[in-house]
Each structure stands twice: as C-alpha cells, then as structure tokens.
Chains A and B, each alone.
Chain A
Amino acid sequence: SQQGEEDPQALSIQEGENATMNCSYKTSINNLQWYRQNSGRGLVHLILIRSNEREKHSGRLRVTLDTSKKSSSLLITASRAADTASYFCATDEEYSSASKIIFGSGTRLSIRP
C-alpha cells in the first residue's frame, strides 16, 4: 500500500478562498514534501518539512506536520486561478535510502473564477 494518501481526491473552490489538502502516511519519516503538477507536466517541488518541524510557511503556502497522527496538511491562502493543479505529498521512510521517496495519489484542485 502507498505511503502517502491525500484527502480529498478532488477539491473545487472559488477564487480567493483558502484551499486545504491533507496527507496521511503509515511509517516513520525523515521529512515530508509537497509537490504540484500542472496537467500533463512534470512535478514541481513546493515545500519540505522535516520530521522535527511542526509548521512551515512559504508565500501563500502553509504546511503543518503532526507526526503523532502521521498526517500533514497543505493550506493555500487567497487562491488564484493559476493554483489549479494536482498536489502530491511525498515521504521518505526513516532509515531508508535517501533516494527513495513515495508519492501519494494527489489532490486535484480546481479554482473557479
């Protein structure tokens, strides 16, 4: 079974609203990353949060990590039409090779104008 699973699978909101996506994982991790993918394109790294961090900000993005619940959330504030994309969390397992990270199924975000 996959390590990270995003929730919801799809989200549609009005431009200007905030979007929240969640990710749950199963094993202990070193860090958790969020990526964005525009339709049919490659993934772009957004933000990384280490296992000893609880919250991190980058522009309109806010990521939280709760290692006791094995979950993370990505908040996009004041959404824009250009934020329409799929968002993936990715985790690497503690003690595993640094080269192996596992992606979830993604949340497809649509911003209505």
Chain B
Amino acid sequence: ETGVTQTPRHLVMGMTNKKSLKCEQHLGHNAMYWYKQSAKKPLELMFVYSLEERVENNSVPSRFSPECPNSSHLFLHLHTLQPEDSALYLCASSQEQRGGYNEQFFGPGTRLTVL
C-alpha cells in the first residue's frame, strides 16, 4: 500500500462515452501526476500538478482533461477516446522540493479498454 489510491481499477468504455479516473493521495504530498503506460513503451508523463501549477505534455490529445481540485485529489476526464488510448493509467504523487530529488509514489493504476 503506497498511500495512493485509484478508482476504478478497470474500465471498459465505448468511443462515445465520457468517464473520469480518480486518484487520491494520503501522503500530504504537493505534486501529483498522470502517466500512461502502453505495452512495450516507456511510461509517458501526461500531466503534472506541482506546487499548484499545472504542467502539460503538449503531445497529449485534448480528449484527456485533468482536474486537480486540491493537493490530495486528481482526476482525468476522458471523452471520445480512441482504441489506441487503451492502456494502464497510473497516478503518482511526490513531495516536490526545489533543488531536491523527487521520489514518486504510484497508485495501482486503472486498466482502460476503449472499444
């Protein structure tokens, strides 16, 4: 148990559906992340909320929309996804220290399948 929870653990959705992934961290951290992990590819950093700033990966399509209402909760809103978006979506948190190191604590992931 890493102190980071994700729901749901598994999600199957059609291309026209709208769904949201939820992440919650119980560690008092000040940074949260969404990663996408596809088969045989490196982890892809999608979004970072760090010290109340949002940092985006410009290659992430607009059909993925993050929301971070507070430092403990992070959402990823999904709409009109494509089958190639099927992947394991991992949430992580860390205590960011400027000039320091950044150990990340990961949730168990949401396995997303887009039909």
Contacts and interface: CB of A to CB of B under 8 A. Distances in A.
Interface residues of chain B: helix, strand, loop or mixed (majority): loop
A101 interface: yes
A97 B53 CA distance: 12
A104 B4 contact: no
Contacts of A40: 88, 109, 111
Interface in B18-50: 31, 33, 40-43, 45, 48, 50
Interface string B1-25: 0101000000000000000000000
Contacts of B92: 42-43
Given A99-B48, A99-B94, A105-B42, A44 B2 contact: yes
A99 B4 contact: no
Interface in B52-111: 55, 88, 90, 92, 94, 96-109, 111
A98 B50 CA distance: 9
How many chain B residues sit at the interface, stated as a range, is: 20 to 34
A103 interface: yes
B106 A92 contact: no
How many chain A residues sit at the interface, stated as a range, is: 20 to 34
Given A48-B103, A105-B41, A98 B97 contact: yes
Interface of B: 2, 4, 31, 33, 40-43, 45, 48, 50-51, 55, 88, 90, 92, 94, 96-109, 111
Interface of A: 2, 30-31, 33, 40-45, 48, 50, 88, 90, 92, 97-106
